[in-house]
Amino acid sequence: MPIYNSTNVPEKVGRDELDKELADWLPRGPILGADERIADARRSHRVLAEGPWPTIGSVETLLLPGPHGSVPVRVHTPSTGSGPYGALVYLHGGGWTVGTLDEFEIPMRIFAERAGIKTYAIDYQLAPEAKFPVQLDECGFVISWLFAHAADQEVDPERIAVGGDSAGGNMTCALTLKFRDEGGPRLALQLPLYPETALPFDTDSGSENRVGFYLETYGVLLFAWNYVPHHEDARQPLISPLNASSHDDLPPAVLVTNGYDPLRDVGHAYARKLASARNDLTYIHHTDLTHGFIQFTRHSKRCLEATHQIADVLKEKIGG
């Protein structure tokens, strides 16, 4: 897949033939945003936590005293190299409603081991039990905590990144805007993977990819209902980062979109916003993959290859 920068982001992106292995597996896998009870959606996603898991140097669980109670954070340290390490604080996807750390264990291990960095995956509170801005508060707290404790964690504070997929990509974009505007930590990198930067209903990708490709377009309505309190304006930049009045002076970004994804066009639009504001940008678009591909590496060699590519870019940007 071509890798773009801020000078050559295409005006439009689309889709080619869907990866065959992925197409064969999707009917047997879970659906994100299906017309089902939240408990059933959470239960069906457990399949993504199944092993075997890749080898890793070590795994540690931290329990941090967050702003809304204890926040579990799972730390992966690679088997090679030594500190100080670059670090990726990771905000998992799932529409703020679905997702466990086990379900993201495989990509976290790939990122840590292949890039030679530490990963800090946050088990933030899910919606609808917790609503905006609880999740942003908890994730922002963990990022700030890591900057304050970088030496103890054998982390280089000049090489701390934040990233996430889907809803986690949304919060990645929102937190970089928040940190810029409020004088927060200066991140070395942001990694929004197929981010929900705005609601996708009036886009070509939202129409083309309504069902059959893991994330269902109208399921995003449920996720927004779960996450956003009714008195909040969902157009505000901390909920819809695409609507920020300015995208200037943001951390370098590695942004990934996929052809078979309802969020393709809103993610692409965000890449163009970052580019037009002259931010340092690496933009990757996969014409043959779906939303959620970093979790599907056991079922598709192409998904594994694309996940390895992200790890290799992380190694280049924040690795030792």
Residues that are catalytic? 166, 261, 291
- Please, what's the b/e burial string for 103-115 (b: 16 or more CB within 10 A of its CB; e: otherwise)? bbbbbbbbbbbbb
Amino acid identity at 147 = F
CB 193 within 8 A of CB 294: yes
Q: Do the Cβ atoms of 5 and 283 come closer than 8 Å?
A: yes
Six token digits for residue 280: 């340092």
For residue 78, whether the previous peptide bond is cis, meaning omega lies within 30 degrees of 0, is: no
User: Alpha-carbon distance 278 to 83, whole Å?
Assistant: 32
Peptide bond into 84 cis (omega under 30): yes
Q: How many C-beta neighbours within 10 Å does residue 98 have?
A: 26
